[in-house]
Amino acid sequence: MADADLGSPDLYINRELSLLDFNERVLELAFDAAVPLLERLKFLCISSSNLDEFFEIRVAGLKQLHELGSQRSLPGEAAIPEQLAAIHGRATTLVHRQYHCLNRVIQPALDAAGIRLVPQDEWDAGTRAWLAEHFSTQVEPVLSPLGLDPARPFPRIQNKSLNFLVRLEGKDAFGRDCELAVVQAPRSLPRVVPLPDGGGGRAFVLLSAIVQEFVPQLFAGMRVLGCWQFRVTRNSDLFVDDDEIDDLRRALEGELAQRRYGAAVRLETSADCPADLSDFLLAQFALTATDLYRVAGPVNLNRLTALYDLVQRPDMKYPIFTPGLPRRLQGATDYFAVVRQKPVLLHHPYQGFAPVMDFLRQAAADPQVLAIKQTLYRTGGDSPIVDALVAAALAGKDVTAIIELRARFDEEANIELATRLQEAGAHVMYGVVGYKTHAKLMLVVRREADGIRRYCHLGTGNYHPRTARGYTDYGLLTCDPEIGLDVHGLFLQLTSLTRTPQLTRLLQSPFGMHAGVIARLDREAAHARAGRPAHVILKMNALVERESIEALYRASQAGVRIELIVRGMCALRPGVPGVSATITVRSIVGRFLEHSRVWYFANGGEPELYCSSADFMERNFFRRVEVAFPISEPDQRARILRNLEASLADNTQAWQLGPDGRYVRLAPGDAEPRSSQLELLARYAAGADAAS
């Protein structure tokens, strides 16, 4: 079927529904009895947090496009109303499963383990008295009940805040009838409250239950007929008109102030909220019945994450592990000397992120270092990376930081980091207007006996020590002269008005990366037709860009064996006869978030392997500054291939995508159970691959 219409909508899976499928896979780990109990609770909370972001960004974007008159989000996609209807059906099922998991699976298991979320109907006299005192002293002073009448309109409700709608009977102090009031819970109040003498701190009450029980104290002289939780989710995507702004930072600061009050996209209420009141709330937020989600529990499951830290039960958590260290760095005092001998490949979190920070700290203190340049996308509020850059600037080195202010949900933290660096004397740039700088690059320029040498760090993940403990990523420390020149050219491009550099070793978007990927896939197809070795392995977070999917289909039609490891969204439909029969797609979901992007091309026996910051998405190829870097050392390339093979052999944490668009979790059956993440933990703990 070489003449098949590769643009046919039937060959593509809807990206929004695919993302909801990923959340289903995360939720499945909350049901998995083989996962430690508190980790299962965390997976439940992650699925809830992911769903929040899905509505804040993906659903909000679809609604906004529809309001602007767009019929479809992308050519070949279903009409937007059809997509929203399909999303509502799938999301409703997902929400039902989340609360079933909490109420019927997680909570009974916690109870059996002596960890209790004590419901109101089980409070004894002592518990009730303590909670009444807690409400009076800790909760009531920060509550502001708001009666609703013509003089007191419905209040502004912050995005994802906890609120209560209260039905009243009677007259207030001024003799006015008041039927409804809103109580807003400040974000400063902890949502999970430990009870005293709770068996070692293992009995808890939810703030929502406390407010609902004692809310009558807020309305003296009136009768409370009912109190129901609600939460609204709002559009949280910041809009900045790239053609109109003079100061990106100032424009973003203005937008951040409005994010909490963007257009409403979802309403959650207690399952028992009366229909007339849910209709009233929908009207207040200009929403329809398809935007309503009734929940049998707290309206924000993600707040239950607090239990993970409150409960000190190591037996209910993943075993602690100590990240490994490449043998050549063990005891090393001069990272520059080590990297001069041979590049250092780091695999996080199996190997620690500390070498990256130590390298930067050494560069900051080294009198021979002249300049340090770095991109910063997500670093965290209290970043040791930024500390080292500040120290370097204060030491008189030329420090340049490309800070991406529009890193979603990290905008405010990044503005604060920019201020710190500027005050220390660093040059701070905000990237390129219209293009997010997502590439992970560090350049250290050092004067040495034989002249100026450039040392680089290139990575697939952020310069964020905390996420490096939970995300799988690769990082390369190298002083390869050609890579150094490429990175130097990229920084010049980002900080000045220079034209796009002619890159020797790296692929960069938005310029040559997409064309480079398509060319390599077409080259693989040519190798297959000529009878030469043809094999592609791609690992990434998302695969939705149409032209690259078409290139994968063409390669499959030519007979190329294509193995895809795609954690999240995947629009490609594998296993379709005559189109994608040689393509398999799997998703690994486990203890660590699979975040690394790796591209392997057999290339007729002369293999190429790249690591990258980019997924196969339109935004990564065309609206971001991204980099893909080659792994040239044979032993390091072989190590990454072994890691990919472990993922492809996984039969416990892997999900296989079928041609019908459905994922099926693999099971070992009679075979030996294989978990790629457990195997890699064991491999690195034993010192395997430590030399490279």
DSSP string, 186-213: PTTS-SEEEPTTSTTT-EEEEHHHHHHH
pLDDT bin (cut points 50, 70, 90) of residue 353 is very high
**How does pLDDT run across 58-116, given as a tens digit for each residue?**
999 899 888 887 777 766 678 899 999 999 999 999 999 999 999 999 999 999 999 99
pLDDT bin (cut points 50, 70, 90) of residue 252 is very low
pLDDT bin (cut points 50, 70, 90) of residue 237 is confident
pLDDT bin (cut points 50, 70, 90) of residue 549 is very high
**How does pLDDT run across 531-543, given as a tens digit for each residue?**
999 999 999 999 9
pLDDT bin (cut points 50, 70, 90) of residue 283 is very high
d(CA 42, CA 107): 13
Q: Please tell me which residue in 438, 514, 527, 595 is annotated as part of the active site.
A: 438
Strand partners, 455: 444
H, E, C per residue of 143-188: CCCEECECCECCCCCCCCCEEEEEEEECECCCCCECCEEEEEECCC
Q: Give the per-residue pLDDT at 574.
A: 98
Q: 223 to each of 131, 165, 167, 217, 219, how far by Cα in Å?
A: 21, 14, 9, 10, 8
pLDDT bin (cut points 50, 70, 90) of residue 407 is very low
Question: Which residues lie closer than 8 Å to 260 by C-beta, 6 or more apart?
Answer: 158, 159, 234
Q: Give the per-residue pLDDT at 247.
A: 45
Q: Give the per-residue pLDDT at 255.
A: 45
- Report whether the peptide linkage leading into residue 465 is cis, meaning its omega lies within 30 degrees of zero: no
Question: Which residues lie closer than 8 Å to 534 by C-beta, 6 or more apart?
Answer: 524, 525, 527, 528, 555, 558, 559, 560, 561, 602, 604
Closest CA to 541 of 594, 501, 612: 594
d(CA 446, CA 441): 16
Helix 384-394 / helix 411-423 crossing angle, nearest 10 deg: 20
pLDDT bin (cut points 50, 70, 90) of residue 246 is very low
Q: Give the per-residue pLDDT at 238.
A: 47
d(CA 418, CA 682): 40
Q: Give the per-residue pLDDT at 261.
A: 64
User: 21-25, 327-331, 337-341, 423-427: lowest mean pLDDT where?
Assistant: 423-427
CB 35 within 8 A of CB 109: no
Q: What is the mean pLDDT of residues 210-224?
A: 92
Q: What is the mean pLDDT of residues 453-475?
A: 94
Question: May I ask the CATH architecture of the domain 35-316?
Answer: 2-Layer Sandwich (3.30)
Phi and psi of 656, rounded to 5°?
-100, 130
Q: Give the per-residue pLDDT at 691.
A: 61
Amino acid at 141: P
From the number of C-beta atoms within 10 Å of its C-beta (0-12, 13-18, 19+), residue 354 rates as middle
Question: Which residues lie closer than 8 Å to 638 by C-beta, 6 or more apart?
Answer: none
Q: Give the per-residue pLDDT at 241.
A: 42
CB 548 within 8 A of CB 516: no
Boundaries of every domain in the chain: 35-316, 327-502, 508-685
From the number of C-beta atoms within 10 Å of its C-beta (0-12, 13-18, 19+), residue 511 rates as middle
Question: Which residues lie closer than 8 Å to 453 by C-beta, 6 or more apart?
Answer: 340, 445, 446, 479, 484
Q: Give the per-residue pLDDT at 380.
A: 66
- 527 part of the active site: no
The CATH class for the domain spanning 508-685 reads: alpha beta
In the predicted model, what is the mean pLDDT of the chain? 90
Q: Give the per-residue pLDDT at 500.
A: 78
Residue with more model confidence, 33 or 406: 33
CB 617 within 8 A of CB 541: no
d(CA 628, CA 550): 21
Please say if the pLDDT value at position 243 is more than 60: no
Please say if the pLDDT value at position 429 is more than 50: yes
Please say if the pLDDT value at position 201 is more than 60: no
Please say if the pLDDT value at position 6 is more than 70: yes
Amino acid at 356: V
User: 260-264, 275-279, 310-314, 518-522: lowest mean pLDDT where?
Assistant: 260-264
Q: Give the per-residue pLDDT at 616.
A: 98
Domains 327-502 and 508-685 in one fold: yes
- The token duo for 288 is 């329809």
Q: Which of 8-12, 419-423, 430-434, 463-467 ranks highest by mean pLDDT?
A: 8-12
Q: Give the per-residue pLDDT at 221.
A: 84
Amino acid at 378: R
Q: Give the per-residue pLDDT at 560.
A: 98
CB 571 within 8 A of CB 543: yes
- The token duo for 669 is 């059956």
**How does pLDDT run across 562-601, given as a tens digit for each residue?**
999 999 999 999 999 999 999 999 999 999 999 999 999 9
Q: What is the mean pLDDT of residues 273-301?
A: 95
Closest CA to 62 of 30, 87, 96: 87
Please say if the pLDDT value at position 176 is more than 70: no
Count of CB atoms situated within 10 Å of the CB of 71: 11
- The token duo for 376 is 């910063």
Phi and psi of 439, rounded to 5°?
-65, 145
**How does pLDDT run across 19-43, given as a tens digit for each residue?**
999 999 999 999 999 999 999 999 9
Q: Give the per-residue pLDDT at 432.
A: 77
Q: Give the per-residue pLDDT at 179.
A: 87
Provide DSSP, 258-326: HHTTS-EEEEEEETT--HHHHHHHHHHTT--GGGEEEESS-S-GGGGGHHHHHS--GGGSPPP---B--
- pLDDT above 70: percentage of residues in the chain: 91
pLDDT bin (cut points 50, 70, 90) of residue 220 is confident
Count of CB atoms situated within 10 Å of the CB of 136: 12
Question: Which residues lie closer than 8 Å to 331 by C-beta, 6 or more apart?
Answer: none
Burial annotation 621-653 (CB, 10 A radius, 16+ → b, else e)? beebbbbbbbbbbeebbebbbebbebbbebbbb
H, E, C per residue of 95-112: HHHHHHHHHHHHHHHHHH
User: 173-177, 209-213, 499-503, 643-647: lowest mean pLDDT where?
Assistant: 173-177
| Coil/strand/helix, residue 27 | helix
From the number of C-beta atoms within 10 Å of its C-beta (0-12, 13-18, 19+), residue 101 rates as buried
Q: What is the mean pLDDT of residues 380-400?
A: 88
Q: What is the mean pLDDT of residues 328-352?
A: 95
Q: Give the per-residue pLDDT at 173.
A: 61
**How does pLDDT run across 101-157, given as a tens digit for each residue?**
999 999 999 999 999 999 999 999 999 999 999 999 999 999 989 888 766 788 889
Q: What is the mean pLDDT of residues 186-197?
A: 90
User: 407-411, 450-454, 494-498: lowest mean pLDDT where?
Assistant: 407-411
**How does pLDDT run across 621-641, given as a tens digit for each residue?**
999 999 999 999 999 999 999
d(CA 507, CA 517): 9
Regarding the domain delimited by 327-502, which CATH topology (the fold level of the hierarchy) does it fall under? Endonuclease; Chain A (3.30.870)
